[in-house]
A and B are shown apart, each in its own frame.
Chain A
């Protein structure tokens, strides 16, 4: 907070400006205890998003996390656009989490999930930038004694043309900071954008090429000790006892302890010593009731869900599907399966906690939610959130795993067991990460449809059996028994079918489940779009044309489908043995479609020749970053399609490291062409949507090549390899 000047008179303006700019906390009052006197008052905080320094450099605050998705650059692009500042003079810093909580969440939502950073904050980010610009212009106008409306701003310079006077943001910032924030804020038409909408280079990349980037696990403090941990391998199990006699006297070992009753940690003066010792601590686990669960027993449980007489009905029911199926000239039925999956972000999980005399707690970790971290640590230590200072770092991938503070809670408890003032860094091994994840839920789908004599799909029923993230992870009540994430792709079924009924049945597992990049949209399109191709085949229709017919009133899904098909040259002849597949999806406010071209050899070797991905995300704030996200999403999806599975035996996870949880490598990377087809007028996400159509486009191409539908993932279990 070095750059911020906090003056008594500013506090209400900050509050008002938040209310005015985002409508986030109307009527919020910031208590006077919040005012922070900082040593150096270099800059003036015009509002919570913008600090202007006398040297004309500008600090733009970024409130979410950066884990590779690029929004630490693209979100400030929106602020800078409206601020009319010279981008080369912009520095970006994280909004302070502690102050955020004290200011009653002044910066809005910090959670970096659901491809939301742009689409749910664009309005208040742009207004934050525009309000700051208006205040800077007003301050200049006041000094000159002219109406603000006669002044213009560009590149950090304010001009009054009539009197040929000009000044700069740096010169008027202190005065601007004292003004009331404007009430009516007009935003630019995106077609006039000069900073937003451009492929500006990501601000965090230079530090990623020379080793300077600091991730959570890179934290090092004087006097710090290191902890390695192992939690009950059977979820829900407890520590009965442990024997540390073999390691106690080893070099560097400080202590061995139980954490939260379900984990054992070794604390040492070096992490390697701690984790080596942990291997030799004998833990007696009370595995509880779940020691007998296996992938086979889980499969039975999910199948029973598909067959159960009753399930929760989704509200989009139309017509009478049973009757229409009974009268159809062709009826198709299929069951699709998608496994549990682990996130495995490249940076293993970890957190550093420093509890000081006097009660201040500092936490460093890579996270997707600074607020959740702060609250989690405060909660487990039983201290007020005001005492907890969370230091956000770049995250080495997140993909949904880092939204929850489980590892920071463990680190806090270990730190509390140490002499006050001892910083503790807890680092998980890769095996711990793999075996103590919140996994993408296992899901099964039973689909049934009827086709009439002229090849139209007249009826469709869906039964989804899956875990409920709302109920099981977030402890929220299910509305009419329906889980949102699990029914993505079916809840707003875009295809026109006169008779349709979609159902959901919850399957609660002892395996913990979590949000995994692209969530329900990472799995339901495999079933939905796969079945569309099965229907097309049964009806003797082209799968692209059948989709077009069923989407004829859905402008955007149809538009993106056409964009992908056109870029891929759908319908043009392919070399012998090469086949195409297509799929379309509507995830996270965006619309994505993919075409995959592949061949399959006699031994099940799949060779990808070409991947075309199209996205309509409304407005494209940083096009090159969108391309990068879709390239990355394609890798993510292909990895899951080929090899991704987490299996259970004796209640525990069978996979442990990258030798048993295979990830895609360079030699397997297909060529991915990305078509950005933004139609404007809305704001869609970009971090996840690219994954959604990939797998079904690929499996549909396999169907075209082999004549056999793929209904279960991963492909390695169906006799396929990637060549």
Chain B
């Protein structure tokens, strides 16, 4: 049995230690928000956080996730009210939407590290592929979410 902490919940799975975390999430735990796009760490559709760091779960053995905090798209907010999700809707980012779980997970991780990212920061952190070509809107939405965070921080101080 492999013990996992996913979105704050304890889960136990009986699988091979080398099975990628992606397939444990999708097929064993029926958590379908994390997507399969390439299987070789190229596209980022499968991005989840391990202790807050973005990781490509298609190429991350489940055994390595043991004892770590795993966060998936389902776990970043209760009501789609994470500033990144709000900005994504506000700017009408997704087209087909298939890459967007991964894009959002990458963006959330970026903003945690760099609350005021420059375009260059966005370029180097956002390496996920979007075949529909939503990049311009992703960039805008990340800047918007950063503004929201700044506003919230100011309000908290005041």
Name A residues whose Cβ lies closer than 8 Å to a Cβ of B. Answer: 67-70, 201-202, 204-215, 217-218, 220, 226, 251, 270-273, 344-348, 394-399, 427, 429-430, 624-625, 628, 631-636, 657-659, 663-667, 669, 671-672
- Give Cα A399–Cα B31 distance, bound, in whole angstroms: 27
Whether B130 and A346, one on each chain, are in contact in the complex, defined by CB atoms closer than 8 angstroms, is yes
Whether B32 and A220, one on each chain, are in contact in the complex, defined by CB atoms closer than 8 angstroms, is yes
Contact of B94 among A208, A430, A634 (CB under 8 A): A208
Return chain A residues, CB-CB under 8 Å to B39. 429-430, 657
Residue contacts A-B, CB under 8 angstroms, 17 given: A204-B94, A204-B97, A207-B97, A209-B88, A211-B33, A273-B19, A348-B37, A394-B96, A397-B96, A399-B131, A430-B39, A631-B134, A632-B134, A633-B133, A657-B38, A658-B37, A666-B128
Return chain A residues, CB-CB under 8 Å to B133. 631-636, 664, 669
- Which of A210, A273, A348 has the most C-beta atoms of chain B within 10 angstroms of its own C-beta? A210
* Also in contact, A624 and B97, with CB within 8 A (given A210-B33, A631-B133, A664-B133): no
Return chain A residues, CB-CB under 8 Å to B20. 272
Cβ distance A101 to chain B, nearest Cβ, rounded Å: 26
Interface mask (B26-50 → A, CB under 8 Å = 1, otherwise 0) = 1110111111111110110100000
Whether B94 and A209, one on each chain, are in contact in the complex, defined by CB atoms closer than 8 angstroms, is yes
Cβ distance B84 to chain A, nearest Cβ, rounded Å: 8
Whether B131 and A345, one on each chain, are in contact in the complex, defined by CB atoms closer than 8 angstroms, is yes
Return chain A residues, CB-CB under 8 Å to B88. 205, 208-209
- Give Cα A632–Cα B30 distance, bound, in whole angstroms: 31
Return chain B residues, CB-CB under 8 Å to A427. 36
Return chain B residues, CB-CB under 8 Å to A251. 16
Whether A70 and B127, one on each chain, are in contact in the complex, defined by CB atoms closer than 8 angstroms, is no
Interface of B is mostly: loop
Whether A663 and B129, one on each chain, are in contact in the complex, defined by CB atoms closer than 8 angstroms, is yes
Whether A430 and B85, one on each chain, are in contact in the complex, defined by CB atoms closer than 8 angstroms, is no
- Give Cα A397–Cα B94 distance, bound, in whole angstroms: 11
Q: Please name the residue on chain A nearest to B88 by beta carbon.
A: A209
Cβ distance B128 to chain A, nearest Cβ, rounded Å: 8
- Give Cα A346–Cα B16 distance, bound, in whole angstroms: 27
- Give Cα A272–Cα B15 distance, bound, in whole angstroms: 11
Question: Count of chain B residues with Cβ under 8 Å from any Cβ of A?
Answer: 58
Interface mask (B76-108 → A, CB under 8 Å = 1, otherwise 0) = 010010000100110011111111110010000
In the complex, whether B3 has a CB less than 8 A from a CB of chain A is no
- Give Cα A394–Cα B99 distance, bound, in whole angstroms: 13
Return chain A residues, CB-CB under 8 Å to B31. 211
* Also in contact, A658 and B38, with CB within 8 A (given A68-B94, A205-B89, A272-B23): yes
Cβ distance B1 to chain A, nearest Cβ, rounded Å: 15
- Which of A208, A397, A633 has the most C-beta atoms of chain B within 10 angstroms of its own C-beta? A208
In the complex, whether B12 has a CB less than 8 A from a CB of chain A is no
Whether B38 and A347, one on each chain, are in contact in the complex, defined by CB atoms closer than 8 angstroms, is no
Cβ distance B32 to chain A, nearest Cβ, rounded Å: 4
In the complex, whether B123 has a CB less than 8 A from a CB of chain A is yes
Return chain B residues, CB-CB under 8 Å to A218. 26, 32
Whether B40 and A347, one on each chain, are in contact in the complex, defined by CB atoms closer than 8 angstroms, is no
Return chain B residues, CB-CB under 8 Å to A397. 95-96, 98, 131-132
In the complex, whether B111 has a CB less than 8 A from a CB of chain A is no
Contact of A346 among B73, B96, B137 (CB under 8 A): B96
* Also in contact, A657 and B80, with CB within 8 A (given A345-B131, A632-B95): no
- Which of A67, A217, A669 has the most C-beta atoms of chain B within 10 angstroms of its own C-beta? A669
Whether A430 and B30, one on each chain, are in contact in the complex, defined by CB atoms closer than 8 angstroms, is no
Whether B73 and A210, one on each chain, are in contact in the complex, defined by CB atoms closer than 8 angstroms, is yes
Whether B42 and A212, one on each chain, are in contact in the complex, defined by CB atoms closer than 8 angstroms, is no
Whether A211 and B97, one on each chain, are in contact in the complex, defined by CB atoms closer than 8 angstroms, is no
Contact of B101 among A211, A633, A635, A658 (CB under 8 A): A211
